[in-house]
Each structure stands twice: as structure tokens, then as C-alpha cells.
Amino acid sequence: MPDIAADGRTALVTGAGSGIGRAVAIGLAAAGWRVALAGRRPEVLEQAAAEAGNGARAFPADITDPAAVASLFAGVGAAFGRLDLLFNNAGVMAPPVNLEDLPFGDWKAAVDTNLTGAFLCTQAAFRMMKAQDPMGGRIINNGSVSSAVPRPNSAPYTATKHGVLGLTRATALDGRKYNIACGQIDIGNVETDMTAAMKRGVLQADLSVRPEPTFALRHVVEAVLYMAGLPADANVLQMTVMASAMPLVGRG
């Protein structure tokens, strides 16, 4: 088993104001990490940082903006001195409409946040991690089970999460020379506000509408802590954590 104790290492979590990001930030802080919480909404970030404790700090930022990302990482460096973990978690959904009816703005918002934002943060993390002493760190991407299998009417989200998988693999390869490990966690039907509708019924591949099971968010936090706590010479390249009975395997 890895050494989960963080010994004062620093983590940056994007999309940390709510849902998975907030829970992971709080979990990391409880495990001893110094945590930087990034997101677009200052008030909820401050609330999450206060709940996390252990010196956690909020850094309001728009990760789709290269200048804002540069400022974010400069702020983290000034506040904590180094970066040991980046959890690329920020993401948005597009309206579940027919592909041919999707407004371009909704497509672009998903690409800008889910894929370009993850790339910009990864690039900034590389620059910071390769320059620090000791050199190196870890990046964990929130990929979603949509990185492998789509739902109906989900082209923007699915396409970006397929892109995140490619980014994860390329990052794992390109990070080797800097002692930067990269892995991906694919999460299916975790119980958050975003998945509340699943209990009422969601569209299936056969165009029926059926409820789907969910599972507790704490299991995602535990999985991220496991990945984050691995020694530098070990990596989880890809992990799927899902509700056991969700219609993923055999979907369609």
C-alpha cells in the first residue's frame, strides 16, 4: 500500500468549489496535503477552503484563459513554494440535445473547459514541477467513463473526455524525463447534484428512459488519495470507479 500521509506536500484542485473537486480537496487536506482550490466562483471556493482547513487557500481562476492559468500557478507557487499534485477536475456538460441541434457555443464551452483547460493547467504544472527541487510531481485527470463509452446526445462531453484520455497518455509519456507521473480516474454515476436525475431516469442507448444506480462520493475521494499517495516510481495510468450495476459494460 502507498504512504497516504502527505507530509505537507501541495496539491492544486481545479473545479474545487463543488461536487467531486470540493470533496477531493477536503479529503486531501484531511490527509495532510496543503491544498490550493481553483474555480470560477470566489464565494464557494472560500467556503470550501474554510471547510478543508489545514491552510487550504482559494484561487479564483478561469482555466480556459491562458493568462488566468499563468496567474493561478504563479499564485500557488508564491503561496506554497512548490506543486506536488494537480487534479485536473474542472468540467462542464452540454445540454443533452440532438447532435444536429447543438449550438456552437455549447460545443466550444465544453472543449474550452474540459480539454483546453486541462491542457493549459498540465502545461503550467510541467513548467513548475520541472523547475522545483526536488523535481517532479503527479497529475491526475478526471476523465469520466465517457472517455470510453458515450451516452446519447453527449457529443461535446464525450469528445472532450476522449481527448482527456489522449492527454493523459501523452502527459504520462512526456512527463517521464521530469519525474512527473500522470494518471486518469474515470468516474461513473457518483452521487452528486449533477447525477440526481439518474435516480428518476435517464435516456439509454435504446432510447428508453430508465433509472440508474449511483454510489457514494467518498469512494472517489479514497481512489484519488490512493493514486496521489503512490511513490514517484509507481503510477495508476487509468482507473474506473463506478456504481457496480450501472449500464456501462454491455451498454447498447
Catalytic (active-site) positions: 157
Q: Where are the beta strands (DSSP E) in 17-98?
A: 34-39, 57-60, 85-88
Ramachandran assignment for 8, one of left (phi > 0), alpha (psi -120 to 50 degrees), beta (any other): left
All residues at 6 or more sequence positions from 73 whose CB lies less than 8 Å from its CB, including other chains: 12, 83, 121, 124, 125, 127, 128
Of 171, 142, 146, 121, nearest to 21 (Cα)?
A: 142
All residues at 6 or more sequence positions from 38 whose CB lies less than 8 Å from its CB, including other chains: 12, 13, 14, 15, 16, 45, 59, 60, 61, 63, 72, 90
Euclidean distance between CA atoms 161 and 11, whole angstroms: 22
Contact 181, 172 (CB under 8 A): yes
All residues at 6 or more sequence positions from 29 whose CB lies less than 8 Å from its CB, including other chains: 35, 52, 53, 54, 56
Provide φ and ψ at 142, rounded to 5°. -85, 105
